[in-house]
Every structure is written in C-alpha cells, then in structure tokens.
Structure 1
Amino acid sequence: MGGVGKTTLAKACYQRVISTVEGIKYHFVGDINQRDAMETRMEEMITKLYSTLLSESNLTYDNLLFDERKRRLSHLRVFLVFDDVENLSQIERLLLGNHLSSTHLFAPGSRIILTTRNKMVVGNVGAKIYHVDCLSHIESLQLFQLHAFGESRPSDDLMGLSSRAVSYCQGCPLAIKVVGGALIGKSRDYWVSFLSDMRQIPTPEIRHVLMRSYNALGGKEIQSLFLDIACFFYGTNKSLVTKYSPAYHLLEVLIDKSLCTCVVERTRERIQVHALLRELAWSIVNDESIKLENPTRLNNLGDIQKLLTKKSLPSLQSQCPKVTRCPEIDSRELMILDLEQTPVRALPLAIYNIKEGGCLSLSGRHITCFPAISTSLDLLGLTFTLITEMNCYDDHQLGSLPRFSALELVANLQLKSLPKHLWSMVSRSLLIHYCPSIETLPEIFHPVTAIVELDQLTDLELPNNKRLKFLPCDIHKLAKLSYLNLSSCTKIKFLPELPPSLLTLCVSGCTLLQALPSNADKLRFKDLYFEDCPQLDPDLPQQVMLNFYDLAASDLHPKVFKHCNTIIIILSFKISIGGKLILKTLFMKTSLYYWF
C-alpha cells in the first residue's frame, strides 16, 4: 500500500550506508513506476544511474552497452536503491537486460534494495523480503503530535481529538503526516469539522498516493474486484468472495499488491482492507455514480432510496447507525441484504425477497422472535444479535424448512434454545460462539439418509458456551464433519462418538472434560488442541496421528504419549522456570528429547 513508509525507510537505510561504508558506488533511483510511463524519462533515469556509477558526465543511453563499460561495472561494488518498482521488466531495464537473481553486472558484495507494492516482483528471485508494518498507536500519536503541534504541548481536549485522528489513519505514516499538517495551529471547532469531513472524502494528498495503487491495477475487472472487496467484502470469509465475485481468481493479485490481506483464523481465511483504502474505494464509487442511471455500488441513503423502486437491485449492504426504518425493497433479484449495526425498528419485507443462495446479515440487531424465512441462503449472520428465540421453525415439516449453507450465531446472550430441526437446516458450517444461555443442542432425530444436507456439514464451532453440557449422541452421523471446536465449554465432561471424518478437534479450556470419545482410536486426527484440560484422561489411543500446539499451557506428563506409536509431529514448546531456565521439549515417535 502507498504511504506506509517504504520509501522513507529505504532512504534512511541509504543515507546510513553511504555515510558509513567506504569503497562503494551508490545511487538512489526514485519514482521508477511513474517514470516508466514516459519512455524518455526512463531512459534519462538509466543514463543518470550509470553516469554516476562510472563517473562519466557525457554518457548517453545509446552507448551504455559498450564492452569496456560493462567490464568496468563488473569491478564496481555498488549499493543501489530502486524505489517504487512495479514489475520485473523495469528492474531488467535498469540492470541493462540482466535478471535480478543472476546478474553479474556488478562486483561481488554489491547490494540492491527494492521498494514495491507488488511482492511478486521479488517473490521468485530469492530476495530477502522485509514487510513494512503500520505504526503502532503510540508511534502514530508521536508522529501525529510532531506534525500537528511541533514543539508545543497540546491541550487536553485536542489530545482526545488526536487519538481520534490517529485511529482514522490506522498507522499509515503518510496519512498521519498529511492530517497532522492540516490541523496545526487550528481551533478545536476546525478540528472537529475537519475530522468529520475526512470520513467522507480522503484528503487530496492521501487520495493521490493511494490512487496510484488503484490505477496500477490496469484492468476494469480487477479494479471492480478491489471496489467490491473494499466496499462490501472486507472482514468476510475468503470463500464468500470466491462465490459472489466473477473475478475472484484475481484476488491473489490484490493481495500481492498489498491492496488487501488474507488473515488465517484456524481453518478460515478472512479478507482485510486498510481503512484508508476502503474510503478511497467509496470515494471512487461515489465519483462514478454521480449519475444514477447506472450506479455500481451505493452507501448513501438518499441514492439508495431513489433506486429501491427498480426491479433489478442485486444487493443492499448497510452500516448506518442512524437509520431506524428500512424502505420497502421491491426487487426480486436481491442477493445480499446486510443490516449489520443498523437499528431499524422492524425487519423489512425484503428479507422474504432474497434469492436462493443469497446472504442475510442481522448482526448487531435486536430481534424478539426470528422470522420464518423460507428462502435457502448461503449465509445467515446473527453476530451480536439480541435474539430470544428461534423456534419459529419447530412446527415445520422437513420439506418446507429453509437451508443455510452457513449459520453464524455469535455473542447471542439471551438465546436459550435452538430450533429442533437445526441439523436439517444447516448444510456446511455451523458457528455458535459465546451463547452462554444455551445448555443443550437439539438431537439428530431423523435418519441421516432422510436428511441429504446433513451429509455436507463440515465445520461445527461451539466455543465459549459456558452452559453447554452435552453434544447430540448421534453426532457421529455427520459424515463429512472435519472440524469441531468446543474450546472453553467448561460444563462438558464427556464426548459422544465422533464421526470418522473428523480431522481437527479443539477442546482447550474444557476444564471438566474427563476423556476423549470412546472411538478416538479409530479417528485419524490431524490437529488436536487440548491445553488446559486438567481432568482429561492422559492415556491417548495407540493409533492417533497428532499435531500439538500451545502445550506450554498444559500440565502434561510424558506418560500421556506412552501408547502413541504413530505420532507424526509434536511441535516444540517452551517452559520457563524461575524466569531463567528455558526448557524446549520435542516429542517424536515414542522418544523424548530435551535441550537446555
């Protein structure tokens, strides 16, 4: 991402080297990508580089490749910085046709530093990559105060606004400098107005730098994917992007160009986008959609209301904390309805218009009784939703029940029970996290052969449910279940038989758990997490294949592994004794090794 400090860091490194190291030739080549757009400027840049290295003031681009000059270069030890490189061809031109990984253009001991937004530039040449992280909150405040107040001490009320400004910049040095410089010497009222307006439109300097990253994408398809992700899909599962975006195959390109990141959380991958890039995306969208005849994406309530009468509206996503009533939506093509953190007093009838395979998010809402939706959805999100009951489906026949590929219930503090047909409603992934009033899960009443969708459930997550005591005794019928998370379910003492397909079991923090399931010796675990389980029977079955993590939190004895003759890997962990001695332990097969 532009503005994070890559060039600044490279310049600091360059100045330090040239002031302390003798016997080298050095040169800083800046703004390569911008100059590459103009052929004559690129040639001038290359000519200047080698004029400096060879100490020839009359050197021209046409006579660079004379053998005598190449021989002289091969005896020079150089230190070069190539700033803002976009592709390998630019490097090869700067190196007179030589590839970065195999160049013999300069003498041994030469060093080249590249700065780039695209890690693919150096990914295949064996280069050492240093990722420039954003500033911490404290570092951001220090930099901001330097530019906003200089040597003066800020007043207490401006200190509070400083924290707000820094939070907006999210560790981006460029943004911090620009915003701090814009506020220096201004009144408190100006600060409040500026920070409020800044949420609407990025300042010109920030937008100019970030727009370079956007324009460098080149094609409409990948630019559209970036806008989709930055406007709607940030923070969601990567699988959601691959399902709903026709250009999902270009996602890795955006990641390589640092326009988004993919964060791995256990078995899931979530897409993250820097706040400045999200605001840039909305700024671009707003500019493109000034004429509403053919808008692409909307987040302005007035624009949305003008379009709600159209019959082809594909999606509506909102996060409007002041909206109390959702207008009627008469579209039959609605695929996504996201009312997250939108305190509308009544659910809109539009929830019944979502097409099959669409998504509905009611996260952050207060719902007394969940509505009986008949449409089959890909995702139903109920994160931080205040909901007291979901039994509206209890009287339904199996054939009339909706199907949810993924159901997420997170931090539902009042929900005490789940629909008795729950297992026939969720086909792929069920997440029930921190629902402290739920004591039991519904049983699997029906034969698995009568519930086709049940065969497809792969993920079951039930962490931090403090009252949950039992799992359904027929859970072994979930034939494709591969991931089961019961971490911090402190009331569970025993586990029923689990399906043979299970690869990952998380029972960390299950302080009353006394034993693994009776069929554990028939399971072929890939990952088993059981730290902080003091009551757990220490004898593991003979045939279990395991990876262990975070064992430092467990009071495990080596006898735990005495029967395990097929352990593949147990990762090392550290134990500190008295703050001095570090014990690293590694179990392999049936042997135990210690290193001090």
Structure 2
Amino acid sequence: MGKTTVAKAVFNRIYNEFETSCFLENVREKSTKDGLAKLQELLKESLKDNSISISSSDRGINLIKHRLQCKKILIVLDDEEQLQNLVGVRENWFGSGSRIIITTRNEWLLTKYGVKRCKVDLFDDNEALQLFSWHAFKLNNPVQEFRALSHRVIKYAQGLPLAFQVLRSHLCQRSKKYWVSELDDMESKLHQKIHDVLKRSFDGLDKNQKSIFLNIACFSKGYDKSIAMDYFESSKSQSECGIEALIERSLITKSKYNNLLMHDLIQEMGREIVTNNIEGILLPKVSDMHGLIPIRDLDDKFRDLYDFIGQEFDQKIVDQESKDPYLGECLPLPRSLVRLELPYGLIKQIEEPKNLKFIDLRYCTKLKKTPNLSLFPSLEALILEDCGSLIEVHPSIKFHERLAKLSFKRCQNLKSLTRSINFQSLRSLKIQGCSKLEKFPVM
C-alpha cells in the first residue's frame, strides 16, 4: 500500500493516545496553492486552538510554537517539503511524547532533519491485483468479465500506489466498454491526474536536475550511469549531484549494475513535459519503423537535439542500394552528438561532430580507414570490430590525448597501427583476430 494509506492506518490506531491530533493531507499542493500561512492556520484549527489568527508564515511559526509547546501532539504531514516552517523539526515546538509522521518522495528531506525512515515498496503484481479487486469489486479477485481488463490495469500501474488510487476511483462501477475506452486512452497518454501529481516532484527540482531528469526520460533510461552522463550538459560533478538528487526524490533508481532506471509512468510524465515545450524529439527504434526518416526531413530546430542510436539495426532493413543518409557512404551528424552506435552501417566516412565521445562502427564492412581523430578532440572510445575492409589507421591516433578505449578485433585486413600511441590516457587496446597485423605500436 502507499505512503498515505500507511500513515492513515498508523494515525487511526494511535491518535487517542495524544491530547490532540491532526492529519494534514497534500501539504505540498496546499502550500503551493494557498501559501504556508494558510496551511499553518489549518494546522492551528485542526489542533483546536482558534484563539488567534495567522497573517504571515513568520508569525505562524512563533504562534504555533508558543501555544502548543506544552501539549502532547500527534501530527501527520502528507507529502511535505517544508518541515522547519510548519512544525519545527529541529526544535522542541511541542510537548514531551509528541510525534510527527511525515510522508514524502524526497528522501533527502528526511536525511537532512534526521528523521527515522520507513520505505514503502511498490506492489508486486499479486498484491496489486488483490488490492485493486477489493476496491473495484469488493472481492479478493476480479470478476470473470473484468479479469483481463484488471490485468491491463496492473500492467499499466506497475505497482505505483498513486496509479491504483486514480484508476480505482475512475473505473469503479463503470461498464466494460468504458474500461476498454479509458485504458486505451491511458495507454497512449498519461492520465491527467497522475501526470499532475507526479509533476509536483519535477517542479521542485532545480534547473540542472530538471535537465538531467528529462534527458534520462527521453534518451538514457536503462543506460549505465557513466554512459548516460555523456548526454548531460552539466559537468561530471554536477551530473553526479543531479543523479543523487533524483534518486533521493524517488524519480529514478539505480540497478546493482549501475544502470539508471525510471518507472514507466514517471518517464511518460517527463516525455510529455518535453513534448509540450517542444524542446526535443525522440525517434523510434529503427526496427519499429516502417521507413527510415532522413535527417534532411527533420525540422532545423531539432537537428542539434537529435541523437541517433543505431544499435537495433536488423540486417533485413539494411538495403545495399539505400540512399538514406544514415546508411550512405558519408554520414551527416548533428553537431551536438556525443555518442554514435551504428553497427552494420555502409558508411565510408563520418562528418565532423566535435562533441563525439563514443564511436561504435562494428561490422561496417565498407569502412577502409579510420577518420582523422584530431577532428574529434573529445573522443574517448573507438570501436571498429569486424570491419573487414579496414586497412589503415589514421596517424592522428598517436597524438590523441583523451582516447581511453580502442578495439580493432577481427579486422582481418588491418596490416599496421601507428608506431606510437599516447598511452597516458589509453586503458584498453584490443587487436585479437587481426591476422595480417605486421606493425604494432611501441609500448
């Protein structure tokens, strides 16, 4: 069950042990809409002290502290972000034995004020189905007519309590036809109420954190953290801090393999933000497309935002006679591109995107020589495995100062590498299967 449900259960169980008690729901939303002073007024009224009025948040802090410091109080703050100005977590505002229960998506807030934490996990599918069935049908399992549709609800919500709360109130006592229509709509576009609630967490981020969040939502979800950071505009230290902030706010998670993960509904919220602001474009995987979209057909304002990842190419799609710029002899690239993965391409050369950090051209059988690496000063990895026509490595490779990974595995026609390479930055050099290699760089 969700954070609010757990907090309500605890409140209902122990409230009679206190002199007075208060459960404030949706604190963040109300403080944003009506102001903190209004929320303090509500807190004061809930705690049965109507003898004074609160005209400002500063006056409210002093009045609440003065009037309630001798009382044993239970307060639940649901979805809270401003603890110090509302209940003075670091000070003794209330009497001995008082308890404050807080629900929030912001783990850092609890850490900052030294609050003991209890993490609420997402539902598994069986728990989710049972809970949804109870609210929708008053049964432990869905009725036969709605069983398949109920499983669609579970798949859509993916264990997120907020989604179940919205869906059960939206679908309960409705016809099967209504369920089908609504689920079709929600699977194509995020339900507005879910979007609005999730977006509050986004709105609380700073500019750098928002940029990183949107980048993960649109481009780098599932990527290794170190690879994803190549896409961020901020510095490495700013990116590290931004990622940690998103984890603390439960907007992303990190797998044991260091991949950045995001709930599908949160990702959809991020993508809708980008779409509504017309700041980016996300193309489908090539294997999902009925036809390739030439770069020349993209609107100019998207060219610098466009990021082409070709790792899903299917050999059946690669037409040897293709005139598409992706697969032609010369590949035009957006100037801001930082990572290029294009196995099985037919390119012979690459135009000049100076920001490229990673190039993977495995199985590019028409590639005969490496590009002039002095044109790619940011390049850190060059993967040219199984390039059967590759015979020449450009001499600029020996002067490159940032290149850390080189792989020419199974390039069977490669005869020589440059006599020297800048080994100060190089950490990995792979030449297995280069059967014709005669000259090797001095170590």
- The TM-score with structure 2 as length reference comes to 0.71
The alignment of Structure 1 onto Structure 2 pairs a total of residues equal to 405
In terms of fraction of residues, the more strand-rich structure is 1
Correspondent of 2:131 among 116, 128, 143: 143
Amino acid at match of 1:151: L
User: Separation in 2 of the partners of 1:256 and 1:106?
Assistant: 28
CA distance in 1, matches of 2:46, 2:172: 40
Out of 88, 93, 102, the position equivalent to 1:114 is: 102
1:94 aligned residue (86, 91, 94): 86
AA aligned to 2:307 is I
CA distance in 2 between partners of 1:158 and 1:320 (Å): 36
Which runs of 5 or more structure 2 residues have no equivalent in the other structure?
Answer: 434-440
**1:5 is aligned to 2:2:** yes
Q: What is the root-mean-square deviation of aligned Cα atoms in Å?
A: 4.7
Counterpart CA distance in 2 for 1:64 and 1:399 is 67
Give a deviation string over 1:336-383, Cα, whole Å, max 9, x none. Answer: 2124557682374236112576323458xxx4x76445458423468x
Contact preservation (8 Å) 2:231, 2:338: no
CA separation of 1:362/1:73 partners in 2, compared to 1, >3 Å: closer, same or farther? Answer: same
Matched, 1:46 2:37: no
Contact kept, 8 Å, 2:136 with 2:172, in 1: the verdict is yes
Q: Report the residue type matching 1:450 in the other structure.
A: S
The equivalent residue for 1:405 is 380
Q: 1:336 aligns with which of 299, 307, 319?
A: 307
Distance 2:187 2:61 in 1: 52
Which residue of structure 2 lines up, in the alignment, with residue 227 of structure 1? Answer: 214
Residue 449 and residue 345 in structure 1: after superposition, are their counterparts in 2 closer, same or farther (change >3 A)?
Answer: same
Q: Which residue of 2 aligns with 1:34?
A: 29
Alignment of 1:160-309 (within 5 A): 160-184=148-172, 191-217=179-205, 222-247=209-234, 249=238, 251-252=242-243, 253-263=245-255, 265=257, 269-288=258-277, 295-299=278-282
Does the aligned pair in 2 maintain the 1:29–1:49 contact within 8 Å? yes
Whether the 8 Å contact between 2:190 and 2:268 is mirrored in structure 1 is: yes
Whole-angstrom CA distance in 1 between matches of 2:46 and 2:205: 33
Name the CA shift for 1:441/1:13 in 2 (closer, same or farther; >3 Å). Answer: farther
Match of 1:349 in 2: 325
Report the equivalent of 1:81: 76
C-alpha contact 1:358 1:378 (8 A) present in aligned 2: yes
| Of 336, 344, 369, the match for 1:396 | 369
How far does residue 405 in structure 1 lie from its aligned partner after superposition?
3.1
Query: For residues 430 and 93 of structure 1, what CA distance do their matches in structure 2 show?
Result: 55
Question: How far apart, CA to CA, are the structure 2 residues paired with 1:478 and 1:134?
Answer: 55
How many Å separate the matches in 1 of 2:230 and 2:183? 37
Structure 2 counterpart of 1:243, one-letter code: D
Q: Deviations over 1:219-269 (max 9, x none)?
A: 5x654443332112222233445433334637244333332334452xxx4
Q: 1:24 & 1:43 partners in 2: Cα distance?
A: 24
- SS at structure 1 position matched to 2:259: strand
Matched-pair contact (CA < 8 Å) for 1:375–1:402 = no
How much has 1:172 moved relative to structure 2?
0.7
Q: 1:114 to 1:70 in 2, by over 3 A?
A: closer
Instruction: Quote the offset at 1:326 in angstroms.
Output: 0.7
Report the structure, 1 or 2, having the larger helix content: 2
Question: Which AA in structure 1 matches 2:231?
Answer: Y
CA deviations 1:252-290 (Å, max 9, x no partner) are: 44333332334452xxx43222211221223233333xx
Q: Distance in 1 between matches of 2:382 and 2:177?
A: 46
CA drift of 1:158 comes to 4.7
Distance 1:399 1:211, change over 3 A: closer
TM-score (norm 1): 0.55
SS at structure 2 position matched to 1:121:
helix
Does the 8 Å CA contact 1:318/1:339 hold for their aligned counterparts?
Answer: no
* Equivalent AA in structure 2 for residue 42 of structure 1: L
Work out whether 1:324 is the aligned partner of 2:290.
Answer: yes
